[in-house]
Chain A
Amino acid sequence: MKEEVKTQDLAEQENDNSVPARLARGEHVALIEAEHLTKKFGDLVVLDDISEKIEEGEKVAIIGPSGSGKSTFLRCLNVLEDPTSGAVYFEGANLCDLKVDINLHRRRMGMVFQQFNLFNNMNVLKNITLAPVHIGLQDLRKIKRKNFFRKIANLFRKGDKKQPLLPVETTAKQIKESAKENAMRLLNRIGLADKASAYPSTLSGGQRQRIAIVRALAMNPKVMLFDEPTSALDPEMVGEVLALIKELADEGMTMVIVTHEMGFAREVATRVLFMDGGKIQEQGAPEQIFGSPTNDRLKDFLSKVL
């Protein structure tokens, strides 16, 4: 009841452009929307009131000097970093709301880290299948538990009031096998199928990062967030990782990439954001950003890195 009134109120305020209001009016909402995102570490303002939309299919590159808040911004997008104020909406759901099950939404946002962060205690195959298997089994258990309680409740209900049981479509074995199959398919794709039983400590940086990317892909994410994916790599290994990311981009994956590889940003991105001092100073198509920058700080930055 209360919810309804609130929704109506929002719908009536035509000039309210917040995501809930637009959702209530049935208007378009971008895949990821950040609203007045602010992040402070103590007194230090890292993100200063950023509002930004990322549409499906976009490849957004974020560039800027170190300490400009680009990594923090990316980490706020899947609430790895709790924003001090403001909100992040993913598919219309407010991720900063504590009532929202963040784990449910994070499944659909892949993230790749600078330090790879492969699970050191598992081999490559287990690294990739851990989350899909665990989450699959968890969902299966949930359905079975619900069915169990419904069965008991049905004992006390009369004929037409009995609730139907939820369909159980898979078995634990099937979940494990399909996850393994999918993992091997992905490993084949990056040419590392023979490393399936190797432990991360025996692999090169480039291999680790490609496996980290594949591990995120195994969850079938809607968007991939890359946090300086090549910054911790030896120069000779940067190429293989960038090639894989480019391949994903060509397949139409939505992605947000924090990067120092200007050439790559220019080639792959559909939009480039330049951040400095916790604000997005300038943004636009790569040709515009790299070709005819207007912001002084961007000009200064480009003159140093190009």
Chain B
Amino acid sequence: MWESFYEQFIVYDGYKLVLQGLMNTMIIALVGLVIGIVIGTIVAVIHVAGTRSRVARVFAYIGDLYTTIFRGTPIVVQLLVFHFVIFPLIRLNIPGVWESVLVFGLNSGAYVAEIMRGGILSVEVGQLEAGRTLGLSFTTTMLKVVFPQAIKNVIPTLGNELIAITKDTSVAGYVGTTDLTVAFRALASNDYQIIIPYLMLALVYLVIVIIFTVIIRIVERRLRKSERRS
């Protein structure tokens, strides 16, 4: 069993495939989350500001529609729809990895929007009011006062989202992206010695998630500390 895996992994250059898969998985997860955070934050702010004017309210509705659609359909279906319907329709021709990045970004944006909204609402209104009474604009107060505090509150939940998106990338193979899962499946299917490759696959995901968890915890502790310094 081990000899077969060794053969596949080293002799037949399986490690190259695995490394490429690892890279793709990381790109999709990390860049996807960054896109998600950007989209999510914008949607959340529009939603929070939604009561201020009629224009903002229209945008808030669009944001609601967006979260409903992307939270209401499975990620695999979204991948398929984008790959086979939307991207051909708008003649967008990019490598499969970046297709997945876009779809995962859009998908996680819907979740992050809710996370961010909760984060912004968790900061007392008084903070915003204090900024406004000093003559700072809504945007400035948001950027300088509310966001830094909101981020602190959402780091644990965002970490959760990072872990979720990392594991979700295992379906990127549906649209022909070589991610970790695809790479290990290739190893397994070459000689039908499936046990070790799949166990290794699980192990790799587990290690990635553990590393992320540790990093998130460190970041969280750093941010919390700054507030208690006297």
- Chain A residues whose CB sits within 8 angstroms of the CB of B136 once the complex forms: 103, 130-131, 134-135
- Is B227 in contact with A216, judged by CB distance below 8 angstroms? no
The complex places the Cα of A66 from the Cα of B129 at a distance, in Å, of: 21
**Also in contact, A117 and B148, with CB within 8 A (given A103-B137, A131-B136, A202-B230):** no
- Is B126 in contact with A117, judged by CB distance below 8 angstroms? yes
- Is A121 in contact with B135, judged by CB distance below 8 angstroms? no
**Contact bitstring B133-166, A, C-beta under 8 A = 1, else 0:** 1111100100011001100100000000000000
**Also in contact, A119 and B133, with CB within 8 A (given A134-B140, A199-B230):** no
- Is A219 in contact with B148, judged by CB distance below 8 angstroms? no
Cross-chain contact of A115 among B124, B145, B228 (Cβ < 8 A): B124
- Cβ of B57 under 8 Å from chain A: no
Closest residue on chain A to residue B53 by CB atoms: A98
The complex places the Cα of A106 from the Cα of B140 at a distance, in Å, of: 14
- Chain A residues whose CB sits within 8 angstroms of the CB of B144 once the complex forms: 119, 130, 134
The complex places the Cα of A134 from the Cα of B137 at a distance, in Å, of: 10
Interface residues on A, range: 20 to 34
- Cβ of B127 under 8 Å from chain A: yes
**Contact bitstring B215-230, A, C-beta under 8 A = 1, else 0:** 0000000000011111
The complex places the Cα of A107 from the Cα of B230 at a distance, in Å, of: 29
- Chain B residues whose CB sits within 8 angstroms of the CB of A292 once the complex forms: none
- Cβ of A10 under 8 Å from chain B: no
- Is A117 in contact with B129, judged by CB distance below 8 angstroms? yes
- Is B135 in contact with A103, judged by CB distance below 8 angstroms? yes
The complex places the Cα of A135 from the Cα of B132 at a distance, in Å, of: 12
A106 to chain B, nearest CB (A): 4
- Is B229 in contact with A199, judged by CB distance below 8 angstroms? yes
**Contact bitstring A99-115, B, C-beta under 8 A = 1, else 0:** 00001111111110101
Would you list which residues of chain B between 64 and 106 have a CB under 8 Å from chain A?
none
The complex places the Cα of A202 from the Cα of B228 at a distance, in Å, of: 7
A91 to chain B, nearest CB (A): 14
- Cβ of B19 under 8 Å from chain A: no
- Is A198 in contact with B230, judged by CB distance below 8 angstroms? yes
- Cβ of B49 under 8 Å from chain A: no
- Chain A residues whose CB sits within 8 angstroms of the CB of B140 once the complex forms: 134
- Is A201 in contact with B145, judged by CB distance below 8 angstroms? no
B158 to chain A, nearest CB (A): 17
- Is A201 in contact with B132, judged by CB distance below 8 angstroms? no
- Is B228 in contact with A80, judged by CB distance below 8 angstroms? no
- Chain B residues whose CB sits within 8 angstroms of the CB of A120 once the complex forms: 127, 149, 227
- Cβ of B130 under 8 Å from chain A: yes
- Cβ of A78 under 8 Å from chain B: yes
Cross-chain contact of A121 among B130, B134, B137, B149 (Cβ < 8 A): B149
- Is B130 in contact with A118, judged by CB distance below 8 angstroms? yes
Which of B133, B137, B228 gathers the greatest number of chain A CB atoms within 10 Å? B133
- Chain A residues whose CB sits within 8 angstroms of the CB of B134 once the complex forms: 106-107, 130-131, 215-216, 219
A122 to chain B, nearest CB (A): 8
- Chain B residues whose CB sits within 8 angstroms of the CB of A108 once the complex forms: 135
Closest residue on chain B to residue A123 by CB atoms: B229
**Contact bitstring A197-208, B, C-beta under 8 A = 1, else 0:** 111011000000
- Chain B residues whose CB sits within 8 angstroms of the CB of A103 once the complex forms: 132, 135-137
- Chain A residues whose CB sits within 8 angstroms of the CB of B127 once the complex forms: 117, 119-120
The complex places the Cα of A212 from the Cα of B148 at a distance, in Å, of: 20
Closest residue on chain B to residue A108 by CB atoms: B135
- Chain A residues whose CB sits within 8 angstroms of the CB of B230 once the complex forms: 198-199, 202
- Is B130 in contact with A201, judged by CB distance below 8 angstroms? no
- Is A109 in contact with B137, judged by CB distance below 8 angstroms? no
A161 to chain B, nearest CB (A): 35
Would you list which residues of chain B between 141 and 198 have a CB under 8 Å from chain A?
144-145, 148-149, 152
- Chain B residues whose CB sits within 8 angstroms of the CB of A130 once the complex forms: 134, 136, 144-145
A184 to chain B, nearest CB (A): 18
Cross-chain contact of B148 among A107, A121, A198, A215 (Cβ < 8 A): A121
- In the assembled complex, 26 residue pairs joining A and B whose CB atoms fall closer than 8 Å, in A order, are A78-B133, A80-B132, A106-B134, A106-B135, A107-B134, A109-B133, A110-B133, A111-B133, A113-B126, A117-B126, A119-B127, A120-B227, A121-B145, A130-B136, A130-B144, A130-B145, A131-B135, A134-B140, A135-B135, A135-B136, A198-B230, A199-B230, A202-B228, A202-B230, A216-B133, A216-B134
- Apart from A118-B130, A119-B127, A134-B140, 12 more pairs, CB < 8 Å: A103-B132, A107-B135, A108-B135, A111-B133, A117-B130, A120-B127, A122-B145, A131-B136, A135-B136, A198-B230, A216-B134, A219-B135
In the A-B complex, the 4 residue pairs with the smallest Cβ-Cβ separation, listed nearest first, are: A107-B135, A117-B130, A131-B134, A117-B126
Which residues of A line the B interface, CB within 8 A? 78, 80, 103-111, 113, 115, 117-123, 130-131, 134-135, 197-199, 201-202, 212, 215-216, 219
